[in-house]
């Protein structure tokens, strides 16, 4: 293998640049040429491909987002869309491809690996942390710490005004960010899609809290595929209990900013592992981290199998959210 490519796809995540940097340095150390593909699969279809060297990735380890750019490409999910992408890879003699992204990225990679002889290795890069086959995905720790800082700041205001706050965090259809940031932030209640809840139960919990010693409370809400649903919940609670409340939706704030040390180290580890996997002849796998060690998971499993929340954290939630 002499030439490999690398792209970022789907939602950006802090640490993607650190992963690109690690892959480029690992590739150059093994005397491989590595090409950066701009704007994910959309750029691959258009042939937006350029050679990367050490200078191209200098001073990006601390930057959020992705210097390669990213985009969602419905076109790539069709056979007609993948045909020019494969032609562009073959034209440049690219024999291996590193894909940094989430389940949509890996769905595309699975299809691509079945249609061409190019080696495909995925790297989990998504703040949602919902990818099967890795304990943590690149960007998750940064997103949790961003949410935690917001919760800490909002608590100061909640205490000052003796008020109820709803803090909505990202996570698409999962509660990973809400669970960890809520526990770390001492939230009085966590609403996550994995655990059904009713507004009546929430009201009963809050009523007990405010009748006791508490004068303020924070409820962390996972967006659950419906950004802004916190406003509905807050309105129903206000109608039932008469509690004055405010809603804070963190949204894309959690995606940007400098990655944490944990995300930088993870990104470096997986970037190097991805290059080594291609050199070793592996294809159709995602490199992840399980129990602190590099693990290889078939790309199809990453989106066909469901990643479960940590059971111990769920039990802690019941004890600590009071």
Q: Enumerate long-range contacts of 84-88, CB under 8 Å, 24 or more apart.
A: 84/45, 84/47, 85/41, 85/44, 85/45, 85/112, 86/112, 86/115, 86/116, 86/118, 88/44, 88/45, 88/47, 88/49
89 neighbors 97 (Cβ within 8 angstroms): yes
Please identify which of the residues 103, 128, 130, 229 carries the catalytic annotation.
128
The closest alpha carbon to 189, from 142, 222, 152, 162, belongs to: 222
Residue linked to tokens 């704007």: 39
Catalytic site includes residue 301: no
Tell whether the torsion through CA atoms of 91, 95, 101 and 107 is positive or negative. Answer: positive
| DSSP-derived secondary structure for 96-114 | EEEEEE-HHHHHHHHHHHH
Estimate to the nearest angstrom the gap between the alpha carbon of 220 and the chain centroid. 18
Question: Which residues are catalytic, by number?
Answer: 128
């Amino acid at each position: 293998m002499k030439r490999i490519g690398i792209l970022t796809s789907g939602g950006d995540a802090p640490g993607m640049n650190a992963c690109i940097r690690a892959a480029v340095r690992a590739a150059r150390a093994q005397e491989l040429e590595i090409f950066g593909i701009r704007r994910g699969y959309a750029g691959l279809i258009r042939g937006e491909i350029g050679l990367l060297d050490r200078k191209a990735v200098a001073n990006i380890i601390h930057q959020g987002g992705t210097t390669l750019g990213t985009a969602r490409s419905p076109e790539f999910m069709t056979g007609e869309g993948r045909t020019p992408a494969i032609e562009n890879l073959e034209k440049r003699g690219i024999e291996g491809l590193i894909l940094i992204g989430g389940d949509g990225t890996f769905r595309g990679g699975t299809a691509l690996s079945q249609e061409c002889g190019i080696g495909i290795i995925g790297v989990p890069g998504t703040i949602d942390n919902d990818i099967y086959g890795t304990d943590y995905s690149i960007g998750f720790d940064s997103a949790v710490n961003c949410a935690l800082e917001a919760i800490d700041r909002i608590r100061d205001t909640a205490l000052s005004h003796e008020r109820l706050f709803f803090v909505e965090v990202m996570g698409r259809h999962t509660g990973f960010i809400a669970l960890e940031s809520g526990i770390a932030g001492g939230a009085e209640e966590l609403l996550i899609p994995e655990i059904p809840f009713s507004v009546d139960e929430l009201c009963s919990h809050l009523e007990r809290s405010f009748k006791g010693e508490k004068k303020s409370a924070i409820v962390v809400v996972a967006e659950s595929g419906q950004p802004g649903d916190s406003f509905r919940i807050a309105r129903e609670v206000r109608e039932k209990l008469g509690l004055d409340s405010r809603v804070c939706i963190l949204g894309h704030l959690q995606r940007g900013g400098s990655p944490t040390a944990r995300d930088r180290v993870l990104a470096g580890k997986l970037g190097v592992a991805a290059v080594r996997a291609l050199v070793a002849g592996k294809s159709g796998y995602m490199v992840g981290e399980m129990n602190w060690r590099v693990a290889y998971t078939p790309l199809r499993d990453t989106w066909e199998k469901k990643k479960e929340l940590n059971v111990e954290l769920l039990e802690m939630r019941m004890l600590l959210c009071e």
